[in-house]
């Protein structure tokens, strides 16, 4: 019995097929599991292991290395406040302090109602709009304490659910095709070109030698 | 010549609201470089890139053409694009991915043809949700257009591209860590040698790893010729480059500028570029190439934006990110935050980096918060010396990858340039900027 919903299970199998080795799909599948559950459950971990041909411990070993993969539940909205150098210069420490007060939690914590998790983030690569904030990895632009509070209100009221899906949904655009270039055909194509290249190189070398 | 006269090679389309669509791409010369490349021999395409002397735009600045020439002959080879942009204050690839994803795809297709690789992967930073959606949309469009897949544009050349999301780890920008991550593992950099994945890369097969901005230059180079690219810039630094300007300037942003012909002064102060320091403050220091780079003071502001020019002056152009700090900036706090970053992002394989970064961060924290001691300054430098002997530039390495030797840059710069400011923190028992 699959833990992943049938549509997600199908997508998972499609993802695995994109790689020469199944294990490469491990991180994409972790994202997929988070799309369903919001975090990486033990059941999902086992299923990913089976799909990738590794053990559940190996999936966990990989997942625990990465900031975006969560082996514990996360709020519906994961709010990340960057405090790295460019944002620091733009007042990020003050914003983070304000965010902690507004949400009533410290960075790393989740509100009791499970709506918000607050993260102090490393650079999010949007450094001309500081301090930079992401909600579920969507940029929401430079924030002031006042705009942050408005943002929290909007999120709580569900006014941003169109643009910011619940935590775990990373990419809403599906790949429309699988691999179109058959691996064996590509191999043959490359071998033929390689022979042509060798022939051209030999001709050029002969011409050079004749000079 | 005006600062902005150089051709816009990678940012030409960004002014359009629909710059990321196939329609706009095709209307502005999109995929003509690929069509042209497919009429040439693969080695002729590679020769154009070699002639361009394009230096890799990721951070190390290794010549792309030379990297390509090192790809070991093998029945299976791969091209992997590094879109894991995470060097603090660097946000150029982010812009290119969201703003012009087809340009990156075209660069990948041309490169894959020149290299005759079996498959291409674009590893994008996981936090780029919109970038991932834009790039996947563009890839779907490109497949439908016949630019990717089997028998591309009826040329007999076939290639599949896969967009692969990361999951949040700075270290995966290091190319061997990126390959480990792409193999579904923890992002641990691989032991060198081999120094280049061109010998042993993805799944142990020869692999070229190139940066997103590097790819974005390829269509122009094929369309206009490597010589035209090499005619821009000077010395080893050819073409244009994106500079990510952040910090205390009026107009932070990404600026595509001709290399070497422009100086840090132009970038920071020119009204059409940075517009000068915000408010009534003055320039105190700037970081010329990402937080791994040693800092510069106001007396170095006339240095040209060139790889060797900055390298010879004791720092690096690195990722092309320039962080400007004004006279109201606490240098202890700035160096502390950068050190905290390295401490959080150390992968943990090598003791000098794993332990050293944490010790440094804690000492910096206590100085900033008024609990420091005068001898802490020597202790900090001693720890830096343990991570990177001599604390010189270019740095000595005691670790598997260059994250380790990048750690001392900000602390050593801070202490060497602003020793008095550190001492004031110690003597006054707190931060004078609070």
Contact criterion met (CB < 8 Å) for B168 and A68: yes
Packed helices B376-387 and B408-428: angle between N→C axes, nearest 10 degrees:
170
Provide the CATH number for the domain around residue A117: 3.40.30.10
Nearest CB to B203: which of A20, A124, A190? A20
Contact criterion met (CB < 8 Å) for A85 and B186: no
Angle at A10 between CA A8 and CA A12, to 5 degrees: 70
Nearest CB to A189: which of B133, B156, B185? B156
Domain closes at, from B301, B326, B351: B326
> pLDDT tens, position by position, for chain A (211 residues)?
799 999 999 999 999 999 999 999 999 999 999 999 999 999 999 999 999 999 999 999 999 999 999 999 999 999 999 999 999 999 999 999 999 999 999 999 999 999 999 999 999 999 999 999 999 999 999 999 999 999 999 999 999 999 999 999 999 999 999 999 999 999 999 999 999 999 999 999 999 876 6
The answer to whether residues B86 and B152 belong to one domain is yes
Q: Could you give the maximum distance between any two Cα atoms of chain B, in Å? A: 74
B222 interface with A at CB cutoff 8 Å: no
Cα–Cα distance, B71 to B198 (Å, whole number): 4
CA nearest neighbour of B132 among A165, A46, A45, A141: A165
The answer to whether residues B171 and B45 belong to one domain is yes
The answer to whether residues B214 and B143 belong to one domain is yes
Residue of B126, B188, B254 to mutate for A, most A C-beta atoms under 10 A? B126
Residue A59, domain extent: 6-63
Q: B1 pLDDT exceeds 80?
A: no
Looking at chain B, which residue has its C-alpha nearest residue A176? B140
CA nearest neighbour of B367 among B335, B410, B329, B405: B335
Contact criterion met (CB < 8 Å) for A180 and B163: no
The answer to whether residues B226 and B247 belong to one domain is no
The answer to whether residues B420 and B291 belong to one domain is no
Looking at chain B, which residue has its C-alpha nearest residue A185? B158
Cα–Cα distance, B353 to B343 (Å, whole number): 8
The answer to whether residues B180 and B44 belong to one domain is yes
B376 SS3 class: helix
A-chain residues near B160 (CB < 8 A) = 18, 179-181
Residue A171 included in any domain: no
A-chain residues near B144 (CB < 8 A) = 176
Q: Are B52 and B36 in contact (CB under 8 A)?
A: no
Nearest CB to B91: which of A28, A85, A127? A127
Residue B38, domain extent: 22-230
What radius of gyration, in Å, describes the C-alpha atoms of chain B? 22
Cα–Cα distance, A93 to B215 (Å, whole number): 36
Residue B168 included in any domain: yes
- The nearest CA of chain A is from the CA of B176 a distance in Å of 15
The answer to whether residues A89 and A128 belong to one domain is yes
A-chain residues near B159 (CB < 8 A) = 181, 186
As a whole number, mean pLDDT of residues B369-380 equals 98
The answer to whether residues B220 and B240 belong to one domain is no
As a whole number, mean pLDDT of residues B170-186 equals 98
Q: For tokens 């910011």, name the residue.
A: A164
- The nearest CA of chain B is from the CA of A32 a distance in Å of 11
- The nearest CA of chain B is from the CA of A66 a distance in Å of 5
How many domains are contained in chain B? 3
What pLDDT is stored for residue A208 in this prediction?
85
Residue A21 included in any domain: yes
Contact criterion met (CB < 8 Å) for A128 and B86: no
Residue A176 included in any domain: no
Residue B406 included in any domain: yes
The answer to whether residues B246 and B131 belong to one domain is no
Residue A40 included in any domain: yes
What pLDDT is stored for residue B195 in this prediction?
87
- ipTM given for this complex: 0.97
The answer to whether residues B418 and B388 belong to one domain is yes
The answer to whether residues B287 and B219 belong to one domain is no
Q: pTM (2 decimals)?
A: 0.98
- The nearest CA of chain B is from the CA of A87 a distance in Å of 8
How many domains are contained in chain A? 3
Q: Which letter does DSSP use for residue A155 in this model? A: H
DSSP codes of every residue in B169-220: -GGGGSHHHHHHHHTTS--PPPPSSS-STTTS-GGGS-EEEEEHHHHHHHHH
A153 SS3 class: helix
């Amino acid at each position: 019995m699959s833990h992943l919903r049938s549509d997600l299970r199908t997508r998972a199998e499609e993802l695995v097929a994109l790689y020469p080795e199944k294990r490469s799909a491990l991180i994409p599948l972790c994202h997929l599991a988070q799309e369903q559950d919001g975090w990486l459950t033990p059941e999902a971990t086992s299923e990913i292991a089976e799909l990738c041909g590794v053990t559940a411990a190996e999936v966990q070993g990989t997942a625990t290395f990465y900031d975006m993969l969560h082996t514990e539940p996360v709020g519906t909205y994961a709010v990340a406040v960057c405090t790295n150098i460019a944002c620091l210069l733009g007042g990020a420490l003050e914003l983070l302090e304000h965010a902690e007060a507004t949400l009533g939690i410290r960075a790393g914590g989740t509100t009791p109602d499970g709506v918000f998790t607050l993260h102090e983030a490393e650079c999010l690569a949007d450094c001309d709009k500081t301090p930079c904030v992401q909600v579920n990895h969507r940029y929401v632009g430079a924030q002031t304490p006042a705009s942050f509070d408005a943002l929290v209100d909007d999120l709580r009221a569900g006014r941003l659910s169109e643009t910011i899906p619940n935590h775990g949904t990373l990419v809403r655009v599906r790949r429309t095709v699988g691999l179109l270039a058959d691996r064996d055909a590509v191999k043959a194509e490359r071998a033929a070109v390689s022979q042509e290249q060798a022939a051209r190189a030999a001709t050029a070398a002969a011409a050079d030698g004749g000079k | 010549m005006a600062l902005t006269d150089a051709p816009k090679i990678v940012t030409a389309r960004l002014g359009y609201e629909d710059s990321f669509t196939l329609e706009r791409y095709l209307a502005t010369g999109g995929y003509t470089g690929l069509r042209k490349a497919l009429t040439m021999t693969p080695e002729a395409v590679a020769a154009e890139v070699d002639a361009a002397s394009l230096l890799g735009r990721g951070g190390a600045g290794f010549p792309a053409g030379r990297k390509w020439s090192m790809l070991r002959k093998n029945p299976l080879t791969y091209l992997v694009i590094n879109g894991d942009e995470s060097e603090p204050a660097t946000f150029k690839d982010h812009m290119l991915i969201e703003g012009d994803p087809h340009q990156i795809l075209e660069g990948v297709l041309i490169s894959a043809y020149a290299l005759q690789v079996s498959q291409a992967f674009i590893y994008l930073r996981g936090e780029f949700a919109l970038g991932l959606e834009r790039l996947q949309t563009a890839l779907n469009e490109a497949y439908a257009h016949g630019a990717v897949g089997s028998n591309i544009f009826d040329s007999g050349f076939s290639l599949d591209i896969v967009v692969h999301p990361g999951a949040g780890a700075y270290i995966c920008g290091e190319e061997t860590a990126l390959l480990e991550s792409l193999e579904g593992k923890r992002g641990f950099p691989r032991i060198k040698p081999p120094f280049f994945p061109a010998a042993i890369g993805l799944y142990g097969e020869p692999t070229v790893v190139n940066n997103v901005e590097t790819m974005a230059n390829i269509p122009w180079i094929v369309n206009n010729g490597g010589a035209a690219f090499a005619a821009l810039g000077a010395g080893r630094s050819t073409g244009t480059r994106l500079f990510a300007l952040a910090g205390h300037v009026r107009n932070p942003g990404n600026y595509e500028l001709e290399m070497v012909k422009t100086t840090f002064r132009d970038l920071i102060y020119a009204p059409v570029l940075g517009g000068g320091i915000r408010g009534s403050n003055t320039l105190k220091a700037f970081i010329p190439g990402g937080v791994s780079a040693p800092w510069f003071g106001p007396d170095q502001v006339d240095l040209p934006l060139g790889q060797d020019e900055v390298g010879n002056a004791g720092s690096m152009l690195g990722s092309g990110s320039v962080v400007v700090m004004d006279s109201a900036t606490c240098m202890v706090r700035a160096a502390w935050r950068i050190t905290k970053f390295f401490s959080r992002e150390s992968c943990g394989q090598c003791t000098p980096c794993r332990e050293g970064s944490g010790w440094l961060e804690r000492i910096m924290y206590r100085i900033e918060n008024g609990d420091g001691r005068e001898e802490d300054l020597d202790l900090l430098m001693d720890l830096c010396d343990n991570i990177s002997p001599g604390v010189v530039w270019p740095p000595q390495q005691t670790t598997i990858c260059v994250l380790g030797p990048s750690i001392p840059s900000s602390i050593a710069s801070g202490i060497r340039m602003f020793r008095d400011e550190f001492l004031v923190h110690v003597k006054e028992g707190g931060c004078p900027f609070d």
